[in-house]
Chain A
Amino acid sequence: MVATKHTIVVQVANRPGVLNRVASLFRRRGFNIESIAVGGSEALGISRMTIIVDGTSPMVEQVRKQLDKVIDVIKVSDISGENIISRELALIKVRTTSATRGEIIQIVGTFRAKIVDVSSDSVAVEVTGDEAKVDSLYNLLRPFGVREISRTGVVAMTRGTADDGRGEE
Chain B
Amino acid sequence: MKITGGQIVCESLLKEGTEVIFGILGGQILPLYDTLTQYPQLKHILMGHEQGAAHAAEGYARATGKVGVCLATSGPGATNLVTGIADAYMDSTPMVAITGQVGRPFIGKDAFQEIDITGVTLPITKHNYIVTDINLLAQTIKEAFYLARTGRPGPVLIDLPRDLQVESTEFNYPSKVELTGYKPNINGHPAQLKKAAKLITEAKKPILLPGQGVLISGACRELKELAETAQLPVVSTMLGISAFPATHALYFGWLGMHGMAYANLAVQDADLIVAVGMRFDDRATSRVNAFAPKAHVIHIDIDPAEIGKNVRVDVPIVGDARAVLAALNKLMIPLEHGEWLAQLSEWQREHPSLAIREAGEVLPQYVIRQIWEATGGEATVVTGVGQHQMFAAQHFFYDKPGSFISSGGLGTMGFELPAALGAKVGRPDELVWCVAGDGSFQMTIQELSTVARDSIGIKVAIMNNGVLGMVHQWQSLFYGQRYMATTLSCPDFVKLAEAYGIPAANITCKGDVRPAIERAIATPGPFILNFVISPDENVYPMVPPGAALHEVIEAPKKEVPAWSRRNTP
- Same complex for A and B? Answer yes
Q: Which residues of A contact B (CB under 8 A)?
A: 12-13, 16-17, 20-21, 24-25, 28, 58, 61-62, 65-66, 68-75, 169
Instruction: Answer yes or no: B180 CB below 8 A from chain A CBs.
Output: yes
Contact check, A68 vs B305: say whether CB atoms are below 8 A apart: yes
Q: Which residues in B have their C-beta under 8 angstroms from that of A61?
A: 308
Which residues on B sit within 8 Å (CB–CB) of A62? 305, 308-309
| Chain A residue at minimum C-beta to C-beta distance from B143 | A71
B305 and A69 within 8 A (CB): yes
Closest chain A CB from B129 CB (angstroms): 9
- Complex contacts, B308 vs chain A, CB 8 Å: 58, 61-62
CB contacts between A and B, total, < 8 Å: 40
Q: Known contacts A17-B118, A28-B123; decide if A69 and B180 are in contact (CB<8 Å).
A: no
* Residues in B neighbouring A12, C-beta threshold 8 A: 181
Contact B318 A169 (CB under 8 A): yes
Q: How far is the CB of A78 from chain B (nearest CB, A)?
A: 14
Contact A13 B181, CB 8 Å, known A71-B127, A169-B304: yes
Chain A residues positioned under 8 Å from B123 (CB to CB):
24-25, 28
Shortest Cβ-Cβ A-B pairs, 3 listed: A65-B305, A74-B181, A71-B127
Please determine whether A68 and B122 come into contact, CB atoms closer than 8 angstroms. Answer: no
Residues of B within 8 A of A73 (CB): 181
Q: Which of B122, B127, B181 contacts A75 (CB 8 A)?
A: B181
Q: What is the CA–CA distance of A74 and B181 in the complex, to the nearest angstrom? A: 4
A13 to B123, CA, bound (A): 18
Which A-chain residue is minimally distant from B185 (CB atoms)? A169
Q: Does B303 contact A (CB under 8 A)?
A: yes
Cβ distance B362 to chain A, nearest Cβ, rounded Å: 44
Interface centre among B126, B127, B180 (most CB of A within 10 A): B180
Q: Which residue of B lies closest to A73 (CB)?
A: B181
**In contact, A74 and B180 (Cβ under 8 angstroms):** yes
List residues of chain B with CB within 8 A of the CB of A16: 130
User: Can you list 29 contacts pairing A with B, beta carbon distance less than 8 Å?
Assistant: A12-B181, A17-B118, A17-B122, A20-B122, A21-B122, A24-B122, A24-B123, A25-B123, A28-B123, A58-B308, A61-B308, A62-B305, A62-B309, A65-B304, A65-B305, A66-B305, A68-B304, A68-B305, A69-B303, A69-B305, A70-B181, A71-B126, A71-B127, A71-B147, A74-B180, A74-B181, A75-B181, A169-B304, A169-B318
Cβ of A71: which chain B residues have Cβ within 8 Å of it? 126-127, 147, 179, 181-182
Name the A residues within 8 Å of B307 (CB-CB). Answer: 65
By CB atoms of chain B within 10 A, which of A61, A69, A74 has the most?
A69
Closest to B183 in A: A168
Q: How far is the CA of A73 from the CA of B179 in the complex (A)?
A: 10
Chain B residues with Cβ under 8 A from A28's Cβ? 123
Q: Map CB proximity to A onto B361-397 as digits: 1 under 8 Å, 0 otherwise.
A: 0000000000000000000000000000000000000
CB contacts (< 8 Å) of B147 on chain A: these are: 71
Alpha-carbon gap, A62 to B307, bound state (A): 9
Nearest Cβ in chain A — how far from B324, in angstroms? Answer: 15
Considering the complex, give the chain B residue whose CB is closest to the CB of A27: B123
Q: Taking each of B118, B127, B305, which has the highest tally of chain A beta carbons within 10 Å of its own beta carbon?
A: B305
Which residues 277-317 of B have a CB within 8 angstroms of A? 303-305, 307-309
A39 vs B376: C-alpha distance when bound (angstroms): 63
B185 to chain A, nearest CB (A): 8
Tell me which residues across on chain B come within 8 A of A21, comparing CB atoms: 122
Interface residues of B in 112-143 (CB under 8 A from A): 118-119, 122-123, 126-127, 130
A169 to B130, CA, bound (A): 32
Query: Which of chain B's residues have a CB closer than 8 A to the CB of A74?
Result: 180-181
Q: Hey, which chain B residues are within 8 Å of A25, CB to CB?
A: 123
A65-B304, A70-B181 known, 19 other contacts, Cβ within 8 Å: A13-B180, A13-B181, A16-B130, A17-B118, A17-B122, A20-B119, A20-B122, A21-B122, A24-B122, A58-B308, A62-B308, A65-B307, A66-B305, A68-B305, A69-B305, A71-B147, A72-B181, A74-B181, A169-B318
The residue in chain B whose Cβ has the minimal distance to the Cβ of A67 is B305
Roughly how many angstroms separate A71 CA and B178 CA in the complex, as a whole number? 11
Interface residues of B in 165-214 (CB under 8 A from A): 179-182
List of A residues within 8 angstroms of B130 by Cβ: 16
**A residues less than 8 Å from B119 (CB atoms):** 20
Task: Return A47 CB to nearest CB of chain B, in Å.
Answer: 12
Residues in A neighbouring B309, C-beta threshold 8 A? 62
Closest to A58 in B: B308
